[in-house]
Amino acid sequence: MLTNPYRELEKQIGYRFRRKSRLLAALTHPSFRHENDGDAGDNQRLEFLGDAVLGLAVAAHFFETRPDLDEGAMTKLRSRITSTRALAIVAAGVSLGKFLRLGRGETASGGHLRDSILADAFEAVIGAAYLDGDMRAVKKIFRALFLPALQNDASSHWHDNPKGSLQEWSQQHAQSNPRYHTVSQTGPPHAMVFSVEVFVGSVRAGKGEGTSKQAAEIAAATDALQHLYRIDMPLPDAPPG
Mean pLDDT of 56-75: 89
Q: What is the pLDDT of residues 24-42, one digit of tens each?
A: 999 999 988 888 876 667 8
**CATH architecture observed for domain 7-157:** Orthogonal Bundle (1.10)
**What is residue 75's three-state secondary structure?**
helix
Query: For position 46, what pLDDT does the model report?
Result: 96
Q: Are strands 193-200 and 203-210 parallel, antiparallel or unpaired?
A: antiparallel
CA distance 96 to 150: 21
Terminal CA-to-CA distance of the chain, rounded, Å?
48
Mean pLDDT of 234-240: 36
Structure-model confidence comparison of residues 192 and 119, the more confident one? 119
**What is residue 32's three-state secondary structure?**
helix
**What secondary structure does DSSP assign to 111-175, as a single string?**
GGG-HHHHHHHHHHHHHHHHHHHHHHHHHHHHHHHTHHHHHTT-GGGGTT-HHHHHHHHHHHHTS
Identify the bridge partners of residue 195 per DSSP, sorted by sequence position.
184, 209
Q: Are strands 203-210 and 179-186 parallel, antiparallel or unpaired?
A: unpaired
The overall average pLDDT reported for the chain is 83
Question: Which of 41-45, 55-59, 136-140 comes out lowest in average pLDDT?
Answer: 41-45
Indicate if the pLDDT at residue 77 is higher than 90. no
* Cα angle for residues 89, 95, 96 (degrees, 5° grid): 85
Indicate if the pLDDT at residue 8 is higher than 60. yes
Query: For position 203, what pLDDT does the model report?
Result: 82
Mean pLDDT of 71-94: 86
Domain ranges of the chain: 7-157, 161-231
Mean pLDDT of 50-71: 92
Query: For position 92, what pLDDT does the model report?
Result: 84
Tell me the catalytic residues: 51, 123
Query: For position 154, what pLDDT does the model report?
Result: 46
**CATH architecture observed for domain 161-231:** 2-Layer Sandwich (3.30)
Structure-model confidence comparison of residues 41 and 84, the more confident one? 84
State if pTM tops 0.85.
no
Q: What is the pLDDT of residues 147-202, one digit of tens each?
A: 876 765 544 444 457 787 788 778 877 788 899 999 999 888 877 889 999 998 87
Indicate if the pLDDT at residue 207 is higher than 70. yes
CA distance 175 to 132: 44
Query: For position 106, what pLDDT does the model report?
Result: 84
Query: For position 51, what pLDDT does the model report?
Result: 96
